[in-house]
Amino acid sequence: FLQLISVGASLAGIRRAIGTCQHSNDCSSPASCCRDNTGHALVDQQGGFGPFRPGLGSQSSGTCSSDVGKEGDVCDYACKCGAGLECYRPVSGVCCPPMKCYNATWVHHQKTYWSNCMSDPKCFLPP
């Protein structure tokens, strides 16, 4: 039984990656997220400056992965966040910050605040 636990624990740390990709649309379940060789998600989040690909440099492809993001990691519909985290784009006066993994409780508070703010004419959006 103890041997089974140690095998399971060691397998949990192995990256589950299948196939090469340029973005997550090239991947399929369960390995639906395209990540570069450092583990950063290669996401096409259109903002004011085009696709957002942190840490990409000259690399133009990655590997399809089922790994989940940690707090502060870039995320999207295919690149999910780990337990207790939620993929969220903060309200900002600058268009458009990338979606990242944030503490789910903080995200809930932010969503509640901005939902109430949008219905209050005295509440101002960030500059």
pLDDT along the chain (127 residues), means of 10: 38 51 88 92 64 51 94 94 96 85 97 90 82
**pTM of the predicted model as reported, rounded to 2 decimal places:** 0.71
Q: Which of 75, 89, 82, 78 is nearest to 126 (CA)?
A: 89
pLDDT value at residue 48: 41
Say what the pLDDT of residue 88 is: 96
- Every domain of the chain and the residues it spans: 2-118
If residue 56 lies in a helix (H) or strand (E), which one and from where to where? none
Nearest to 53 by CA among 34, 29, 30, 31: 34
Q: What whole-number distance in Å separates Cα of residue 72 and Cα of residue 112?
A: 21
For the chain, first and last CA: distance in Å?
A: 59
pLDDT given for residue 45 in this prediction: 64
